[in-house]
Amino acid sequence: MSQELLKGMNPQQAEAVTTTEGPLLIMAGAGSGKTRVLTHRVAHLIQDQKVAPWRILAITFTNKAAREMKERIADLIGVTDANRVWISTFHAMAVRMLRRDIDKLGYKRDFTIIDAGAQRTLVKRILKDQNVDIEKFDPRSVLSAISNAKNAMETPVGYAKTANDIFSKIVAKAYAAYQKQLELAQSVDFDDLIMLTIELLEQEPEVLAYYQDKFEYIHVDEYQDTNDAQYRLIQLLAAGWKNLAVVGDSDQSIYGWRGANLEIILNFEKDYLGAKKVLLEQNYRSTQIILNAANDVIANNHGRISKNLWTDNGDGEKITYHRSNSDRDEAVYILGEITNQVKNKNRQYRDFAILYRANAQSRGIEEALVKANIPYTMVGGSKFYERKEIRDILAYLSLITNPADDESFLRVVNEPKRGLGDTSIIKLRAFASEHNWPLLEAAANAHLMNDLQSRAQNKLMDFAILMQKLIQQEQFDVSITDLTRAVYQETKYVETLKVSPTPENENRLENLDEFLTVTEQFDKNYEPDEDSVSKYVDFMSELALVSDIDNVDQEDNNVTLMTLHAAKGLEFPVVFLVGMEESIFPSFRAIIDPKQLDEERRLAYVGITRAKEKLYLTNAYSRMLYGKMSNNMASRFIDEISPKYLDMSAAGQLDSYQAREASLPFARRFQPATGTTFQGRPVGQREPNNRNLTSSRQIHQAPNPDNLEQSVSWSVGDLVTHKKWGTGTVVKVNGLGEDMELDVAFESQGIKRLLAAFAPIKKQE
């Protein structure tokens, strides 16, 4: 055993590295060095156990993580062996397998992977063809339902059998048509990549046996984020050697909304009897106070594998809690803190991250940064590969590599403008369907369309000739860069933009120039693997698998703005968690759904543990969001942090009632009501810094005789009827008798705090 590989590791990390045989669950807390453990484990297998690199599979969830893993392994054992290890995302692995054997399922090996924009366009067109009111049934919702069905491994036929309401029946019909269109176009979507790989392995015993034998050791990172389809794929691959090591953290499972199944990691030891479990609890990233806050918050969740993060980094600074009068004041406060620390603490802008629950919250902060002339990067905002001009060029390239790609054809047949109207395209689609041809082939035969004017026929045939010329360029094996330049020139795309030099078109031209940087980098670094179809197919596959997080460059000296979901896997010296308010974080839906609330709390845990040295929690009395002014109580997640870890000196101005509350000992202010429980745990901390209180101290009114006479007892989850606001759900209970306060979530009003004895409410039995 090479002691060099274990140098500096704690006992638990060393145990995880050296436990190589059989199933292994590595429960790795935030910042506990899991990437180091994974990379050193792979190095140990190759260097000490003499395992062939190509017999090792390591699956991550982002390209960025895969690149980092490969680089670290290369540092340990050299580039040659590191390149021979299969290190990829789930989807990249599936693409590689499908490129090799998808022809066994009736697809061509040069299939196209359609992007999210093309998916939405296709579903929208299908719904219109099926006379569905897209104002009532949002195409995005339908597409999301189709995606969830695929992640649950439901085929169109299987989904239709269980469709028992109007929406699911619409989805079932759209799903069937959607899948048929993809198959005709020799295209797959992201979810198909996993689903088709499973289908391939289950239907082709020889293919399954090949991969089961090949992958003697399998590693899966971020196991808590796997969905049912990914779980099944790993189960199939690991059934051969059973040397499966999974790394994850049940407390960081934050993707339930897109199909991640927390039960998968919780049931690992049941699925793989005799599995060994190693807990990584020592954190190398954050200060102890930040970790204590994270531990406090997550302890309120149920259904978790308990652990307690600790560090040798020292206690560090207290967490600053600031409550502003408005969201604008909140942004000003944040900018003031950043400016002060850059000036007085020698920090750089890249040290700061501003994290929020929803993208819509970024607008005010972004405006303030612009006015303050502070450089920033917004992750998940205007994405490079989703800009119109880039999507247009990608559609041309996709149509070149796969002439059956009807979605790409429809995107570019009239881009730049060629004088083809909607009626001509509708007739072309009908003509193609009649002959069972792809649209490009139909366009080449447009002279056979008797119901189309000769002018339109000629334009369609001219387009087909243009595309054939570009397809021939590919067949001459030119570089990706030269092929892209040919597209720019032959289609007159760049020329058209130059003719009208508006600021918008100038920006588009700059983006097209930047795209050539992407192609040049690919050409320079391209090395085909044993399963490659062509460099053109590999290039399109690589771009299809790019995610937002892959483009985060923490070396740029910019403040980073991003959602909490996007921040997973990253770390910053200083983190601002903004908008920490009930109905925002946690979201309104989560407040009335215990399962969603647990996931929101895990999201808070993720956000807190992104901070290395300093953490700020901010919110506001009033906030303009989604075109509506709201007054929200401070987030319960702040209440759940012990006051000894919070610096309240920047909490903001308090009114007289709040000042009285603030003067009370924290233990009393935050003490839950006796006997009040929520899923077996105490609930109902009092909110000290909130103006939206309805209390006897503010409003002098007589008790509600109905509530007093009935001696109503209240619990979290009770339904109430309010004379003005309608039906609501009790989400928090505090106090006893006439002093009992209820936090009630109303659909139209958000959360309101009411005195149970005085409010015009009735309990629904």
The 10s digit of each residue's pLDDT in 191-204 is: 999 999 999 999 99
Residue 639 pLDDT = 94
Indicate the pLDDT class of residue 674, thresholds 50, 70 and 90.
very low
Query: At 73, which helix (H) or strand (E)?
Result: helix 63-77
What are the tokens at 438? 């792809």
Answer yes or no: is pLDDT of 734 > 90. Answer: no
Catalytic residue among 35, 282, 473, 671: 35
Contact 86, 93 (CB under 8 A): yes
Contact 357, 563 (CB under 8 A): yes
Answer yes or no: is pLDDT of 381 > 80. Answer: no
Catalytic residue among 307, 568, 610, 686: 610
CA distances from 574 to 342, 577, 581 (A): 11, 10, 20
Catalytic residue among 252, 563, 658, 729: 252
Catalytic residue among 192, 221, 389, 582: 221
Q: Report the alpha-carbon distance of residue 454 to residue 465 in Å, rounded.
A: 16
Contact 130, 232 (CB under 8 A): no
The SS3 assignment for 745 reads: strand
The amino acid at residue 290 is I
Burial of 703 (0-12, 13-18, 19+ CB in 10 A): middle
CB count, 10 Å around CB of 159? 20
Number of helices and strands (H, E) in the chain? 34, 23
With vertex at residue 700, the alpha carbon angle to CA 699 and CA 704, rounded to the nearest 5 degrees, is 100
For residue 248, say whether it is annotated as part of any ligand binding site: no
Top-confidence residue, 598 or 655: 598
Those residues whose C-beta lies under 8 Å from the C-beta of residue 413, and which sit 6 or more positions away, are 420, 425, 439, 443, 460, 463
Q: What is the largest CA-CA distance in the chain?
A: 89
Strands (E), 627-740: 628-630, 646-647, 677-678, 681-682, 719-722, 726-734
Q: Report the alpha-carbon distance of residue 439 to residue 410 in Å, rounded.
A: 8
Answer yes or no: is pLDDT of 663 > 50. Answer: no
Contact 280, 28 (CB under 8 A): yes
What are the tokens at 704? 């509600």
The amino acid at residue 74 is A
For residue 750, say whether it is annotated as part of any ligand binding site: no
Residue 257 pLDDT = 82
CB count, 10 Å around CB of 260? 20
Indicate the pLDDT class of residue 345, thresholds 50, 70 and 90.
confident
> Residue 62: which of 101, 28, 89 has the closest Cα?
89
Contact 94, 194 (CB under 8 A): yes
Q: Report the alpha-carbon distance of residue 616 to residue 607 in Å, rounded.
A: 11
Residue 551 pLDDT = 58
Residue 667 pLDDT = 32
For residue 34, say whether it is annotated as part of any ligand binding site: yes
Residue 726 pLDDT = 86
Answer yes or no: is pLDDT of 435 > 90. Answer: yes
Least confident of 18-27, 98-107, 369-378: 369-378
For residue 484, say whether it is annotated as part of any ligand binding site: no
Indicate the pLDDT class of residue 676, thresholds 50, 70 and 90.
very low
For residue 314, say whether it is annotated as part of any ligand binding site: no
Residue 268 pLDDT = 96
Top-confidence residue, 675 or 328: 328
Catalytic residue among 216, 222, 639, 718: 222
The pLDDT mean for the chain works out to 87
What are the tokens at 597? 């609330």
Indicate the pLDDT class of residue 552, thresholds 50, 70 and 90.
low
Burial of 435 (0-12, 13-18, 19+ CB in 10 A): exposed
- Give mean pLDDT, residues 348-377: 90
- Give mean pLDDT, residues 646-670: 47
Those residues whose C-beta lies under 8 Å from the C-beta of residue 138, and which sit 6 or more positions away, are none
Is 34 a catalytic site residue? yes
Answer yes or no: is pLDDT of 666 > 80. Answer: no
Q: Report the alpha-carbon distance of residue 115 to residue 526 in Å, rounded.
A: 22
Residue 736 pLDDT = 74
Top-confidence residue, 538 or 342: 342
Per this entry, what is the length of the chain? 765
Indicate the pLDDT class of residue 2, thresholds 50, 70 and 90.
low
Residue 549 pLDDT = 59
Strands 677-678 and 681-682: antiparallel
Is 35 a catalytic site residue? yes
pLDDT one-digit tens code per residue, 189-241? 999 999 999 999 999 999 999 999 999 999 999 999 999 999 999 999 999 99
Answer yes or no: is pLDDT of 753 > 50. Answer: yes
Q: Report the alpha-carbon distance of residue 598 to residue 50 in Å, rounded.
A: 44
pLDDT one-digit tens code per residue, 438-462? 999 999 999 999 999 999 999 999 9
What are the tokens at 501? 């030099």
Interior/surface letters 593-605, b for 16+ CB within 10 angstroms, e for the rest: eeebbbbbbbbbb
Cis preceding-peptide flag for 53 (omega within 30 of 0): no
Residue 659 pLDDT = 36
For residue 117, say whether it is annotated as part of any ligand binding site: no
Question: In what side-by-side order are the strands of the sheet with 750-755?
Answer: 750-755, 741-746, 726-734, 719-722, 761-763
Residue 687 pLDDT = 37
Q: Report the alpha-carbon distance of residue 628 to residue 360 in Å, rounded.
A: 12
For residue 31, say whether it is annotated as part of any ligand binding site: yes
Q: Report the alpha-carbon distance of residue 309 to residue 133 in Å, rounded.
A: 51
What are the tokens at 668? 């009393």
Based on C-alpha coordinates, what's the Rg of the chain? 29
Interior/surface letters 451-479, b for 16+ CB within 10 angstroms, e for the rest: ebeeebbebbeebbebbeebeebbeeebe
Q: Give the helix ranges, DSSP H, for 402-453.
A: 406-412, 422-435, 439-444
Q: Report the alpha-carbon distance of residue 348 to residue 656 in Å, rounded.
A: 39
> Residue 86: which of 63, 62, 64, 55 has the closest Cα?
55
- Give mean pLDDT, residues 635-643: 96
CA distances from 557 to 345, 376, 552, 553, 740 (A): 16, 8, 12, 9, 51
Answer yes or no: is pLDDT of 473 > 70. Answer: yes
Residue 451 pLDDT = 92
Contact 689, 650 (CB under 8 A): no
Phi-psi category of 258—alpha, beta or left, where left has phi over 0 and alpha has psi -120 to 50?
A: alpha
For residue 30, say whether it is annotated as part of any ligand binding site: yes
Answer yes or no: is pLDDT of 489 > 90. Answer: yes
Strand partners of residue 220? 59, 246
